[in-house]
Amino acid sequence: MHQDPQTAIITLLNNYFMYDVIIDTDPGHDDALAIMLATKSGLFKIHAITTVAGNSTIENTTRNARYVLELLNLTASIPIYSGSSVPLKQKLIKAVVHGSSGLDGINPKNKPKLTGDAVNRIIEIVNRNPNKILLIALGPLTNIAKAIIKKPSVMKNLKGMIIMGGAIKVPGNKNRVAEFNVFVDPDAADIVFRFPVKKTIVPLDACNQVKLNLDDFRKIKDESLRKPILKMMYPYIENIYKDEGVRTALMYDPLTIYSIINPLACHKKAYDIVVETKGEHTRGMTVVDLRLGEGNPNTTVVERISESKFKKDFIGILSRM
């Protein structure tokens, strides 16, 4: 069967290359899909999933992460370590689109099994694997900032960070200018953005352009995933419509995973970015230096991701038996 060039490259990567990663996350409907995409792709050696409060409480996000791994039959393969229950300096402001459980439509009943050691585990894994670990951040950056504060010399040995967060040239989804993850803990984001390791962000600029509907999810051939995904997506789409005025499933965190799976589908540009921590109207703003010839780029920004390529590959990967 003939493959187009990009599909052939992804197949080659699947056969000969694997990313060593930690996924720091706050599941969340889109986080759940991101974990599914990462594990089913076969491209990632996931050393750990670490959880943080954000979309919901630490109890809910940890329980939801365990539910997803149970769904994937991976509880014995991937450890889950729970982390921060509140931001560094702010009160926790939870998301509304994920419902009271964080996975509205499913509402898992399993136990969260909190360990409280995510920060130490991140440090340990990076220390054991210098210059190998790609840290994928899908929630507020509290755990990662704490690890940087505690052991900056170890955290400098990260291979890099891929962060779902920020709004560069588009409005925010939590206030006029701020994306949710950065808004929830701007102090942590400020620490992370200032830290001298390679960083890539997938901001709202890219995420707002890729929209899936229920018919897209119905195309997933693996029934063991399709059924629970559809249960999750009904309320998720309705909640997004009530909160943001668009009746669609926005794919924030799966797109962050996909930017690693298929970099050829992404348009990227380097910018110098700082985080606003104190502004009355601009808390959590990712402030970009857009002056020509000014600034020293500290972050690669994924500005666009092909919607057609993402849909094709997302459905295809989740359909694998």
Per-residue pLDDT tens digits for 299-318: 999 999 999 999 999 999 99
The structure tokens listed for 238 are 């309705």
pLDDT of residue 18: 87
Burial class of residue 176, CB neighbours in 10 A (0-12, 13-18, 19+): exposed
299, 303, 302: which is closest to 196 by C-alpha? 299
pLDDT tens per residue, range 232-257: 999 999 999 998 888 999 999 999 99
Closest by CA position to 305, among listed 250, 253, 268: 268
Strand bridging mode 19-25 / 44-51: parallel
Summarised one tens digit per residue, pLDDT across range 123-146 is: 999 999 999 999 999 999 999 999
Other beta carbons within 10 Å of 271: 19
- Whole-number pLDDT of residue 1: 44
pTM here is 0.94
Residues (pLDDT < 70) of the chain are: 1-16, 292-294
pLDDT at residue 15 in the model: 52
Residue 291: what pLDDT? 86
How many structural domains compose the chain?
1
How far apart CA 25 and CA 3 sit, in angstroms, is 34
- Angle subtended by helix axes 186-194 and 142-150, to nearest 10: 50
Name 172's Cβ contacts closer than 8 Å, sequence gap at least 6. Answer: 178, 179, 183, 204, 284, 285
Instruction: Tell the burial category of 313 from Cβ atoms under 10 Å away from its Cβ (0-12, 13-18, 19+).
Output: buried
The domain containing residue 265 runs over which residues? 5-318
CATH of the domain at 209: 3.90.245.10
- Angle of helix 223-244 relative to helix 29-41, nearest 10 degrees, comes to 140
